Amino acid sequence: MTSHRPAGHDRTAPPSGARRRPRDRLGAGLIALGLALLIPVGPWFGAGPGSATAAAAPLPRAAVGAPLVIAHRGASGHAPENTLAAVDAAAEQGVTWVEVDVQRTRDGELVLLHDTTLRRTTDAAERFPDRAPWNVGDLDLAEVRQLDAGSWFSPKFAGERVPTLRELLRRLDRNGQRLLLEIKAPARYPGIEREILRELAREGWLRPLRLYGSLILQSFDETSVRTVHRLAPQVKTGFLGSPGRDALAGYASFTHQINSRHTDLTVDRVADVRKLRGPHGRRMEVFTWTVDDGPTAVRLAGMGVDGIISNRPGEIREALRGAVRGPSAPEEENGAASGDPALRTRVLDGGRAAAGRRRR
């Protein structure tokens, strides 16, 4: 930030117009520099959106790295979904990426909830019996704060609260984690995209050095994804769904990922997405959800998906490592051994990259 101090009165100074011209030039230069730092175009330079890339059509599996494992609503198989306890559970399992859902309260606060009502994952019906159907957008933050968001999952989480987006961002910072943020039911909350971006900026999540590698905004709502891209084209985005093959090039103009249900994916489907260039000229990616069994995760990794979203991320990561090692193969570097050679290379390379990121 630049501070502005009024100039002191100086009888010997030149006329005010002459005095301001150098400052005007300096100010313009600083603004240009600020914009250049805010939107780091260089690392994203490449072919235009929707164009095919020979490097990804098809890519050798050994070249694409291991798929990321992302904690779905936090490690929601181990703690109540969309709570700080679930975020911490993912961290305890060594899982870097966390997916959560964001909505807006009646008084404009951004909170983490999956359902558009509070009934399933809180005690709203007991605490506010006359407020049915307990829509998120019908309660103020102070009322949401009164709710127990943990007991439904297990008595040991009694008293767990619905967190705000700001609380989440600070917890992720503390844990050294990254964020896949789903904008849930955005049509209910006009303007929520701008509010999310404002909060991310306030908390330092839009700084150039962390922007592309630590944050993805996704939604099932195409208009919402387009809005995020229009407001902040430097932010990486994902569309949740399975557009037809002929439509994929159009999505490449505003989203970096096509994130599909795992039952919708085939080898050809993954290859069709990954051979396209997204908005920043980077190869498009495929994240898939929700995968809680090891054999399915291994099969999807073999297809070349870039990320696997799971309620049990620790178990999925171990399943991928186990597929690399094989049942009786001798251990090699990093505890891996000869199993599936292609998958072995993907997981080892991905593990080394993650270790390098943690060291940094």
For residue 14, give the DSSP letter: P
Q: Please, which residues have CB within 8 angstroms of residue 148's CB and are 6 or more apart in sequence?
A: 122, 123, 158, 159, 160, 161
77-80, long-range: CB < 8 A, 24+ apart? 77/292, 77/310, 77/311, 77/312, 77/315, 78/312, 79/153, 79/157, 80/121, 80/149, 80/150, 80/152, 80/153, 80/154, 80/157, 80/160
Q: Please, which residues have CB within 8 angstroms of residue 324's CB and are 6 or more apart in sequence?
A: 336, 337, 339, 340, 343, 344, 347, 348
Q: Tell me which of 72, 78, 229, 256 is the catalytic residue.
A: 72
- How would you classify residue 284: left for phi > 0, otherwise alpha for psi between -120 and 50, otherwise beta? beta
Exposure class string for 128-163: b at 16+ Cβ within 10 A, else e = beeeeebbbebbebebbeebbbbebbeeebeebbbb
Q: What is the dihedral of CA 226, 227, 228, 230, to 10 degrees?
A: 90
Q: Tell me which of 78, 114, 229, 256 is the catalytic residue.
A: 114
Q: Is 299 exposed, middle or buried (0-12, 13-18, 19+ CB in 10 A)?
A: middle
229 is catalytic: no
Under 8 Å between Cβ of 110 and 195: yes
- How would you classify residue 161: left for phi > 0, otherwise alpha for psi between -120 and 50, otherwise beta? beta
9 is catalytic: no
Three-class secondary structure of residue 264 per DSSP: helix
Annotated catalytic sites, by residue? 72, 114
